[in-house]
Structure 1
Amino acid sequence: MTEHVIRQTKQKDAVRKALRASGDFVTAQELHRQLEDDGSTIGLATVYRQLNLLAEVGQADTIQLNGSQMFRMCEDTSHHHHLVCTHCGKTVEIEPPDETWLRKTAAAHGFTVSSHTLELFGLCEDCQQGQ
């Protein structure tokens, strides 16, 4: 870990607090807007940097959704996966797929598994009812 990842700063604390309060996945721009609305003078580049550092050390999850990188505070540091609503961003942690299935599927195509990620995207129940 680099020194700037370990060191606590007012800006890092503000980003972490805002990300935790958001609950679901948000973009850096959305989080920056929220921080500004709360009176913070933190710059967008700093928000990006802090979010990426949090993701790098495993304290935040990150996904790509609709062409945007999104972040969510990660309370569970073990390997996990998500269901993500593409409309409202609601996120639910789900059980990972069976490791045997992963390895069997990879082997059927001549691969060995070194790592995996799995995010399922769709509409949550509330957004389905609103459509």
Structure 2
Amino acid sequence: MPDRSDTVDWRAALRDRGYRLTPQRELILAAVDELGHATPDEVLAKVQETASTVNASTVYRTLEVLEELGLVHHAHFSDRAPTYHSVRGHEHFHLVCRGCHSITSIDTAEADPLVETLRARGFEPDLGHLTVFGQCADCQGGAS
């Protein structure tokens, strides 16, 4: 899969779908980019560092629009709120440690054997939403 940072022009995507390019949308997408993986509340806190007038409902609605446009993805790393990340970097899936709660981004190419098996069954996976839970090497070493 190509690096989508060159193919995703979020400003054009908003305009092409009839959405206005607002300062709030720009701040929210910039916050998602900067934070890497963030819940809506974490995005809100980051945005409010520069624009205290942005509220939680604006962040939630904007994240929904950005996901609908394919500019961000969300994943569920636990029973907490979904965590959003930009698609402007490399496409990846996630490893989440149940011990220390660390999140590791893994390039989708590393899942090629699984993807090919699923495709052979007539199924096209969406790895951007894939989260694999387990234990990282540090936590495995600490548990022995």
Same topology, TM > 0.5: yes
Deviation of 1:19 (Å): 1.0
The TM-score, its normalising length taken from structure 2, stands at 0.65
**Given that residues 95 and 132 in structure 2 are in contact (C-alpha distance below 8 angstroms), is that contact kept between their aligned partners in structure 1?**
yes
Structure 2's unaligned 5+ residue stretches are: 1-15
1:73 to 1:116, Cα distance in 2 relative to 1, 3 A: closer
The CA RMSD over aligned residues, in Å, is 2.9
- Rounded Cα–Cα distance in structure 2 between residues aligned with 1:125 and 1:54: 35
Deviation of 1:52 (Å): 1.5
**Given that residues 26 and 89 in structure 1 are in contact (C-alpha distance below 8 angstroms), is that contact kept between their aligned partners in structure 2?**
no
Q: Deviations over 1:28-86 (max 9, x none)?
A: 01211222244431010110111111122221121122222110112247x64333455
**Given that residues 85 and 121 in structure 1 are in contact (C-alpha distance below 8 angstroms), is that contact kept between their aligned partners in structure 2?**
yes
**Given that residues 26 and 71 in structure 1 are in contact (C-alpha distance below 8 angstroms), is that contact kept between their aligned partners in structure 2?**
yes
Structure 1's unaligned 5+ residue stretches are: none
Q: Deviations over 1:83-123 (max 9, x none)?
A: 3455455341322332331145xx4xxxx315444322345
Deviation of 1:14 (Å): 0.6
Greater strand proportion: 1
1:32 to 1:124, Cα distance in 2 relative to 1, 3 A: farther
Aligned length: 120
Which position in structure 2 is the counterpart of 1:20? 33
Which position in structure 1 is the counterpart of 2:54? 42
- Rounded Cα–Cα distance in structure 1 between residues aligned with 2:29 and 2:142: 31
Matched, 1:65 2:73: no
Higher relative contact order (CA 8 A, sep 6+): 2
Q: How many percent identity over aligned positions?
A: 26
Which position in structure 1 is the counterpart of 2:116? 100
**Given that residues 84 and 92 in structure 1 are in contact (C-alpha distance below 8 angstroms), is that contact kept between their aligned partners in structure 2?**
no
1:123 to 1:59, Cα distance in 2 relative to 1, 3 A: farther
- Rounded Cα–Cα distance in structure 2 between residues aligned with 1:13 and 1:81: 25
- Rounded Cα–Cα distance in structure 2 between residues aligned with 1:36 and 1:125: 36
Residue aligned with 1:19, SS: helix
- Rounded Cα–Cα distance in structure 1 between residues aligned with 2:86 and 2:97: 17
Which position in structure 2 is the counterpart of 1:51? 63
Which amino acid in the other structure matches residue 117 of structure 2? W
